[in-house]
Structure 1
Amino acid sequence: MRLITISIILSCWSKLVFSLSSGDMASMSCLEVASNWQQVEQAQQQGTFRFARDQGPITWNIDHTAPFSEYLAQAKAIISSRNTRAQQNCPILTPVAKQLGYEITDVKVADLVAPFELRHNNNDRAILLIHGLTDSPFTFHYLAGQLYQQGYNVRAILLPGHGTAPSDLQHIELSQWQALVNYAVARTSQDFQQFAVLGYSTGAALAITAVSKNPTENITAMALISPASEPHNKHGWLAKWIAKVPFINWIDEDADFDFAKYESFPWQAAALANDAMATLATQTFPANLPLFSAFSEVDTTIDSLASLAMLERFALDSQRPTTHSLLYYGNKNTAKAQLPKGYNILSPRCDHLTCDSTIDMSHIGILQPPEHPYYGWQGTYRSCGGYLAELPKYLECKKHPTPLLGERTSRNTSYEVPLQRLTFNPTYDDFVAYLTTFLDNHFSTHVQP
């Protein structure tokens, strides 16, 4: 009996300490949480940031006549009511945060994950940005700032179920994602004389479907970054059935220390992404619409060969393959063998000091500059999910002074030195130069800042 009593006391004490440490994390800044990887095991087990507050709606009831400003307000309200970290201090003064008027002392998590708009005093030209699965508009905070400085009006939306907590993705349908993207494309078409759409990962798949089904005369170009064409795992179609099994909710249950991108991953999210990609098989790319793409040959999320096949089909649909460009992070000959004659295939040049430790480009790295204070090479956050099932290696990845950088492949994670999944682009300047040159060339006149 005495042993049982001691066991109960120890169990209660453990739960109390556990609860206190979780509460402490909730009161930290977003940077302190990301740096607190020593408590990753506790956060994983308890799901400290995995679950949203059950307050208010998960998504906006779309009014297709509503101005974009109303959508922004509604989305921010959802984040504020459902995200337990919404009011957590997050002192990251990105170009977008600066342009929106924030000071480093008052930036909150809600401000950085929310959709946004950067406007000039004109309605000439705009870029609509659509993020990917488990992500948020924070992923565009550097690219959007540069596009704005070059004279473009910029909009970024937040897909339903994002910006709050991973559990909200369990209650979302593909039709809700597509409805919001359709609204954003139609609204941007109405508000600006010319516009382009840039989609990242699953956001690229949603953008293609929206533009293909409802082409507008004033869309001048599209850009696809790490586009979701087909999953690397060919059993992705099973996700929608597994998601229906009671009590089997999560593929990954991580700490979710990253305030801007979910680390835990529900089966329902995989099912939604698979359905979004499946719709692409029946989509015809709009004739004469210029297309820019950028992705890695080594991608553990998306099948890069399927992406090349998709680009080949789109080039034939568009009837103008010479207006299509691909920035390919891999063997240029592989892309050249797949794509039609006249396709503009570009190769990045790596001269950043991290190039020697970079093995290959990852699915998630292209959009971020090396100097990014959160995702950059000296940033606060490290992506070590390749070792999620091996806690010692996970912790070594978090603390190693010079980890390898690259995609999360079994080969890359087999080295003695741990692999940090590449969250930034060592050739970012090349990427931005190629993208903006493409955009400038396909608007009717060059954009003036």
Structure 2
Amino acid sequence: MSLPPEYFHEINTLNREFIEASPDDILQFCADYFQRRLASQRHEFLVANPQSRKSGMVDPNIRGMQALQEDEAVASPTASSFPSNPFDTTMNASNPRDAGNGTTADGHQFNFGGFSASVGAPPSGGGDASNFPNNYNLNRRISVSAESLDPASTFSSNWVPPFYPKTKEQQTRLTNAVAQNFLFAHLDEEQSSQVLGALQEKRIPAKGVKVIEQGAEGDNFYVVESGTFDVFVHPSGKIQPGIEGLGNNVGTVGAGGSFGELALMYNAPRAASVVSAESSTLWALDRVTFRRILMDSAFQRRRMYEKFLEEVPLFVTLTPYERSKIADALESKKYPPGTTIIREGDPGDAFYIVEQGEAEVFKRGADKPINRIEKGGYFGELALLDDQPRAASVISKSEVKVATMGKDAFQRLLGPVESIMRRNDPRRGQAGMEEVDPLSKE
């Protein structure tokens, strides 16, 4: 029996990601990969078939996405029956869960059960049902892969994010606390304002307070303003009685770091315990707001860039998956008229694609531009291809919005189109965006 092409595509993609990540826990990595693929496919299907969202039905021809009936007696995990205070000292294993990735102030990530562990991946425990609390599934929503919030419906819903008034001093402290957090980097002004308003201050009075318990349900994501927190993982998958019940200390999260997002993103049990190492201050974001704003932002941003990349001639030969990987690596930047975006002679550290506006290319000694770049045009590639200084300057003629990609991502993701960029290299006597010598011919 011949296998379908889709099967080989998924396996090849999994192989590439596995080689890049080199995970310690192979089964957990594969499980996480297919969980993400299923969630992404479901989102795309629901966006393309809005009627399915209304009826609750899913096209039976979509493999792995058949809708499951929901028991009317099953309550939402965000219902009032779940305690809302994550610092209640009476919390036990049957109470809500809280752990995921942790991010330190310097950007180092701890992965508690994910695929890119840098501090020693904990066992997945997926094969032993006793690792989960007895009532883990009680009052849980039944679904295909996880609690579903369709990003496409966010803007049309009547949902209003919670708002906690803050003093000017609190606002300043909070802004500083989230300034370097990668999860907030791509939010627009409105989304950023909503998140800052929805964050709630939580003061931890002393050392030894369990903010998160391994194996419990997760209702909050946390940003550390001050203090430090120790991260523990027990091989059994949950806290055990006794002095050593927390398990092994696998890391520390300090000011500017964050933790708890993976359990909210994937509706998974907390995979680590987080305990205060001193009196500290946290800012907490509830599950629904986290998913509505942060996950929706990432989803909408990816969709926007995927659509944009489909219109860029350089990327038309790529597969949808390859374009989606590039879309995830892009960041938007705006430059007012007359701004030098890259300067001739500077080292190359980024690649640029023009989203809006017009820019001009200049060489030293030239009194007029040697090229113009408009929407869909790109520049900055030659310095990255050959690891050479910038060969020309690019200056915005009007307000310019660009999608930019760092050097590492460029070299990792743009291999499939490298030959096209080299073919367009002006040093080979063809038109290009970053001129070396417009008069030279080979």
TM-score interval, smaller chain: under 0.3
Judging by fraction of residues, say which structure has more strand: 2
Judging by fraction of residues, say which structure has more helix: 1
Structure 2 length normalisation: TM-score? 0.24
**Which of these two proteins has the greater Rg computed from alpha carbons?**
2
Structure 1 length normalisation: TM-score? 0.24
